[in-house]
Structure 1
Amino acid sequence: MRPNSLQLLKKIETMEMDEAIEALLSILKSSEEWEIKEKAVEFLIRFDDPEKKRFQLLKNVFLNDRHPQLRLKLIELFTFCYKKDGIVFLKEQYKNCRDGAVRRDLIEMVGKIDLENSVPFLIEALGDTNIESKKSAINFLGKTRTNEALVPLIELLHFRNSEIHNDLISSIVKLGKKGDMDVINKYINSEDSAIKREIPVILGKIGNQFSENLLITNLKDENPIVRKNSVKALEKIIELKNVKHIMDILNDPDVEARKKQFEF
């Protein structure tokens, strides 16, 4: 950081608000050093901009200077000072952010400030190549009040990614508990084995009695993992009169599935 820039930033501490803002905007317009710009943005966060006079200049800085640390600070400013207007801009720029940490922070701010209006955006973010960004999108979708996200979340199970598995199951369960179970139930006969094996796990965690018959049907599935997971799910919801369905298949050839039946 150049000495004259340091001196100017120190002087800003003693300036009146309007003078300080002008000095900070001047730095953003003229400086070529991201560290100086980041410090200027940090100062600007302190000053409200109800008429959005600085908004366009700040957007230009975000568009023209791609340094991750500067962009992270600008994301903080946009969300703190401009709220939903800032969020609209950030969502538009998501695809243009190459740095994974920047995308993750952007997703976090969108989810915290404008969750219910950002479901399509968060669904798009499920395809993010950065695992932490993807996790953020998954977790925020689990907090929404719409079933719109259920299908894309369930489809992600196909990839069997251990890094997002628990978050994925948790969000699907949360949505299932809030809404229509039909979307999840339709996947019980999925041709995708990775998805099919997880549906009993999800149904068991949701604990809806109406899933009992579907899970009983699954006890005869050709996939031993599906059978095992179905037994485990039924432990939580099956009525006593239907326990015979589990007892009927105690001779399951798969050891793990048979163990689950004996545990029951």
Structure 2
Amino acid sequence: MTTTQREPVTRVAVLIPTYNERDNLPGIVARVRASVPAADVFVLDDGSPDGTGQIADDLAAADPQVHVVHRTSKEGLGKAYLAGFAIVLERGYDAAVEMDADGSHQPEQLPSLLAALPRADVVIGARWVKGGEVRNWPARRKVLSVGANLYTKVLLGMSVNDATAGYRVYRSSALRTMGLQGVESQGYCFQIDLTLRAIRAGLTVVEVPITFVEREVGVSKMGRDIVREALTSVTRWGIEHRVGQLRSAVGKAREREPVGERS
């Protein structure tokens, strides 16, 4: 069996969207820089009213490998990452990392995700695989996340176990292939959308187990609207997927029919 040869990854950009994360940002940036010293960090701030943008500017002034993108308003996770992806492609980086600012995605585990790139186009830091773990979540939230991922996996016919996970690495070649121009989803739905696009584009998605740690400082941005968007979109995509399968099966059956028996 032949193995696909992929380009080596040398230039990595870590994208960290922020909204009111002034207390978390300095620590998370320092941990990224210590864990992957060669990587550049891009803070994508959505006009945080708590001064996160100024703190990001101070970090950038002290470290040439830290950069800040000031966005004028709170437009959500999806649009922030899309803006970051555009910068990654424009500036010739080999890969883009998605990482939360709240410490739930541990920078110390990033080398393990990057180590999977020789065999992958997309690497997901997965919670719901063997070796994965979630700390400090109530049982209700664990059930919600596991159930959402199982629903997504079954309905969309994907082999990925943690399609809602937000700790990821994308090769730049994958970003160019996935058709990002049509992405409008946010939150959990954004991650599912990109996973589905990667699989439909024939890309290799690899899940690496991580330990997810619930934030200790600040407030989670996950609300009912984000959950509702994911449920609605996944259901629609699932119906489209099943209809497409049915049409394909009907078409193949008709091709096997003798010409004289076709109506």
More relative contact order, 1 or 2 (CA 8 Å, 6+ apart) = 2
Same fold (TM over 0.5): no
Q: When you count helix as a share of all residues, which structure comes out higher?
A: 1
Q: TM-score, normalised by structure 1?
A: 0.23
Q: When you count strand as a share of all residues, which structure comes out higher?
A: 2
| Bigger radius of gyration among the two | 1
Q: TM-score, normalised by structure 2?
A: 0.23
